[in-house]
Amino acid sequence: MRYLPKSPSDREALLKAIGARSINDLFASIPAEYRLERDLKVPRQMAESEIVDWFRERSRENGDGYATFLGAGAYYHYRPVIIDSLISRGEFLTAYTPYQAEISQGTLQSIFEFQTMICELTGMEVANASMYDGSTAAAEAVMMAVRLTGRRSAVVANSLHPEYREVLATYAHHQSLPVTATSFTDTGRVNLKELEKLITQETACLLVQSPNFFGTIEDIAAIAEIAHKQGAMLVVSIAEAVSLGIVEPPRQADIIAMEAQSFGVPLGFGGPYCGVIATREQYVRQMPGRLVGQTSDKNGKRGFVLTLATREQHIRREKATSNICTNQALVALMVNIFMTIYGKVGLRELAKQNLAKANYAAQQFGKHARVLFPGAPRFNEFVVQTTEDPYAINSRILGHKIVGGLPLKKFYPELGNAALWCCTELTTRTSIDTAVGMVAESERSVKSAKQEADVQEVTR
């Protein structure tokens, strides 16, 4: 059965239409002795997430659910059940592009609200209707900066998500655009001294991520000062959108390229996700992607339309701001619903839970292994370096129905046996303590084996 909400004025109008003065009049035909005047004896009220957890616990008695510490651009957050209910409505669940504004006001309004909330969240003045994902948003933002500045080179932080860097490299190769990487320090942050040498009058933009791939929060103000001093634009990539609930948005940036997957988008073998570009209004004509604007019809009634469409490739292919000719409207609707449900206070509380659990986990891991980059603030991810190969540790942790952190040897071989661990609001203390115990056991075993080998070497 569908729930159709009614305002107090709606209720009054309905009662008036049937000749009733109040809700109680509707039950007047029921004798008083049969009416229940007290509250029902039901269990205490629970938050939606608690109810879902209760049913999941019951299902796990026969199931095989796993806890996970994976992050790195794909985050396991709670999804309110209302999201799937609403996006499944026929008005939204369609491949139709809302070109005909007169029959698409609902879809267009939802996109407009999405853009508005993204601007409120990021501190920017305009946002597009979404892009494929965070990686394409970052690459398109760099191309946007190249068009705006007329310069033909870019600098990218080596602490940007490695797969984002690969997508940018593909774009840059076919645009003959030189891209230079800048290193990170032992705090996990961008090397500012090196950055000052790399950015020149020929640099179109600097692309950094914050929180970066290691979970470290960058000093955006200092980075922006270095970039702007040379006339370069600053592009900030945000892979973990929940961080904006507690971390100051990078208002010093010229362009923000964000992945909004954390806002109600499920994990599903890499997609679909929801990229977003937000920027200042003065740059809007070079911003890629669709844009919904608010207008008035001939009767002065508010309406919504696709606007500035000449930026798009289906109108001007050769001069288009991007060759991405669609967006993620349905996925953006998930994000829209998520932001609406949580609101400012809810998102802040969600971010606090992520931060608190990550801090607890990092402290516990630090008692037995080395937690890298301790000198800078972090959000919900951190890097743990172990003596044993993290792949071997993860295989044993898996036996406890826990997916361990992401080994970084593939991306950063110089970090050795390091793994990226992530904690969200769904990470339990039991899971953390179990994983920490397995790492501690690994360290003890390696140390014991080394001591035994040393003794044997001495006795020879």
pLDDT tens per residue across all 460 residues of the chain: 466 778 889 989 999 999 999 988 888 899 988 888 888 888 888 899 999 999 888 887 765 678 999 999 999 999 999 999 999 988 888 777 777 877 888 899 999 999 999 999 999 999 999 999 999 999 999 999 999 999 999 999 999 999 999 999 999 999 999 999 999 999 999 999 999 999 999 999 999 999 999 999 999 999 999 999 999 999 999 999 999 999 999 999 999 999 999 999 999 888 899 999 999 999 999 999 889 999 998 889 999 998 887 777 667 777 788 877 777 889 999 999 999 999 999 999 999 999 999 999 999 999 999 999 998 999 999 999 999 999 999 999 999 999 999 999 999 999 999 999 999 999 999 999 999 999 999 999 888 777 666 666 666 6
pLDDT reported for residue 457: 66
Q: What is the identity of the amino acid at 78? A: Y
**Residue 76: how many CB atoms within 10 A of its CB?**
20
Residues 188 and 195: their CA atoms lie apart, in Å, by: 14
Model confidence over 200-249: pLDDT tens digits?
999 999 999 999 999 999 999 999 999 999 999 999 999 999 999 999 99
**Domains identified in the chain and CATH numbers:** 67-79+343-459 (3.90.1150.10), 82-339 (3.40.640.10)
DSSP string, 375-399: TS-BSSEEEEE-SS-HHHHHHHHGG
Burial annotation 8-41 (CB, 10 A radius, 16+ → b, else e): eeeeeeeeeeeeeeeeeeeeeeeeeeeeeeeeee
Residues 418 and 188: their CA atoms lie apart, in Å, by: 13
Tokens matching residue 127: 């946002």
Q: What is the 3-state secondary structure (H, E, C) of 310-344?
A: HHECCCCCCCCCECCCCCCHHHHHHHHHHHHHHHH
- Determine how β-strand 255-259 pairs with β-strand 233-238: parallel
Burial annotation 348-381 (CB, 10 A radius, 16+ → b, else e): eebbebbbebbebbbebbeebbbbbbeebebbbb
Tokens matching residue 108: 């267009």
pLDDT reported for residue 332: 94
Which residue from 5, 6, 33 is spatially nearest to 17, judged by alpha carbons? 6
Which residue from 303, 318, 297 is spatially nearest to 98, judged by alpha carbons? 303
Model confidence over 2-27: pLDDT tens digits?
667 788 899 899 999 999 999 888 88
Q: What is the pTM of this model?
A: 0.85
Q: Is 61 exposed, middle or buried (0-12, 13-18, 19+ CB in 10 A)?
A: exposed
Q: Strand, helix or coil at 390? A: helix
pLDDT reported for residue 1: 47
Q: Of how many residues is the chain composed?
A: 460
Tokens matching residue 271: 């997609």
Burial annotation 236-255 (CB, 10 A radius, 16+ → b, else e): bbbbbbbbbbbbebbebbbb
Tokens matching residue 69: 């510490």
